[in-house]
Amino acid sequence: MTYSSPLLSRHGAVEAGGLDAGTASHYGDPLREQRDLARGTAVVDLSFRGVVTVTGPDRLSWLNTLSSQQVADLQPGVSSELLLLSVQGRIDYDARIIDDGATAWLLVEAAEAPGLAEWLQRMKFMLRVEIADVTDQWAVAGATAEVPQWEQYLRWTDPWPQIGAGGFAYTAVPEDAHPGLERPWYEYVIPRAEFEGAIEASGRTLAGSMASEALRIAAWRPRLGAETDEKTIPHELDLIRTAVHLAKGCYKGQETVARVHNLGHPPRRLVFLQLDGSQHTLPAAGSPVLLGERQVGTLTSVGAHYEMGPVGLAVVKRSVDPAAQLVVNDGGELYAAAQEPIVAPDAGAVVGRASGFLKAPRR
């Protein structure tokens, strides 16, 4: 069924496509909306998001056994992120998780919710858990600042870019210089019946997905369905920092996580691209990234940042020289792209590493 947000009826709303389909890409002035969002005076319609709940006394210990994250002792109101991996360690699901003391709420991309709920149902066995896809009952809204008028709603706080307990940073920049620090991010879970009223009560303007995506790209924050494909492992996107606990017990995919982290290197790495803005257009996500005439990666996300201009994220081969000038080829239209490594070329193989930029896990 095709989703359509009630906020698309607002003046100037232009519908988005792709992962944000069914909500507005902008409401008439995307750069102003982006500035307002960055200042904390706007909110974003994320009502396309999927919401899956897990209730029952075994919910957290059960999710702990299934996922990459340590959530067995997750306290009410504390936000985290977990991955459900394949046996090969590839990302199947990426969920934002917050527990309210009785229910674990999993916030996912729109296409994930039905499959996630079905998969969890198959894994419950005799445990005291109940799973429900409640997407039709609950909507999500995002902001870069807390919304006092929404204190009654459950709020997930993005841990990015902080290194979580058991996490590890794969970036080659000092942690106090990580651009994600400039983008705090909150997602509120609001009953759909109250959604429009809550937007009005917030006292804030609306920003579209073009605004939120540009800020996400600038914060180096990967997104499932954009930066991922059927082969993606967490190390390639620096998701070890927020979504993986390296010291927890056995779970599906752990062998790959441990082997790459301790002994190997991820075959690909996430990079930030500063694109040539002289053409006054943006290349399409999915366009090949070239080094000379050879394709070395794929543009995964792209946006127009209100300060930096055209920016993007790309996943490229680990062997690509970090100093090399790249080119994005969108159907023959070429865009020069200066890269900044997000995942360091020497990421992984921490056993025996004496020093370096990579940050050790917190216990």
197: domain CATH number is: 3.30.1360.120
Longest pairwise C-alpha distance within the chain: 60
| Residue-by-residue pLDDT tens, the chain, 363 positions | 689 999 999 999 999 999 999 999 999 999 999 999 999 999 999 999 999 999 999 999 999 999 999 999 999 999 999 999 999 999 999 999 999 999 999 999 999 999 999 999 999 988 999 999 999 999 999 999 999 999 999 999 999 999 999 999 999 899 999 999 999 999 999 999 999 999 999 999 999 999 999 999 999 999 999 999 999 999 999 999 999 999 998 999 999 999 999 999 999 999 999 999 898 899 999 999 999 999 999 999 999 999 999 999 999 999 999 999 999 999 999 999 999 999 999 999 998 665 444 455 555
187 annotated as ligand-binding: yes
206 shares a domain with 290? no
CATH value at residue 308: 2.40.30.110
362 domain residue, yes or no: no
14 shares a domain with 140? yes
Q: Measured at the alpha carbon of residue 55, what is the angle toward residues 53 and 58, in degrees to the nearest 5?
A: 130
Q: Are 204 and 38 in contact (CB under 8 A)?
A: no
The whole-model pTM stands at 0.96
Residue that has been written with the tokens 């902001």 in this structure:
143
110 domain residue, yes or no: yes
pLDDT score of 157: 98
Number of domains in the chain: 2
Residue range(s) defining the domain that contains residue 208? 6-218
Last residue of a domain, one of 218, 243, 278: 218
122 domain residue, yes or no: yes
Alpha helix locations (H) across the chain? 30-39, 59-66, 112-123, 195-201, 209-218, 240-243, 254-262
Size of the chain in residues: 363
pLDDT score of 315: 98
pLDDT score of 356: 42
153 shares a domain with 14? yes
Residue 15: enclosing H or E segment and its boundaries? strand 14-15
290 domain residue, yes or no: yes
Q: Measured at the alpha carbon of residue 119, what is the angle toward residues 61 and 77, in degrees to the nearest 5?
A: 40
358 domain residue, yes or no: no
Residue that has been written with the tokens 């059960």 in this structure:
62
Residue that has been written with the tokens 């080119």 in this structure:
327
Q: Are 31 and 37 in contact (CB under 8 A)?
A: no
130 shares a domain with 14? yes
198 shares a domain with 295? no
pLDDT score of 362: 56
Q: Are 10 and 44 in contact (CB under 8 A)?
A: no
Q: Are 304 and 227 in contact (CB under 8 A)?
A: no
86 shares a domain with 168? yes
Q: What is the Cα–Cα distance from 244 to 248, expressed in whole angstroms? A: 9
179 shares a domain with 67? yes
Cβ neighbours for 190, distance < 8 A, ≥ 6 positions apart: 138, 139, 140, 141, 150, 153, 198
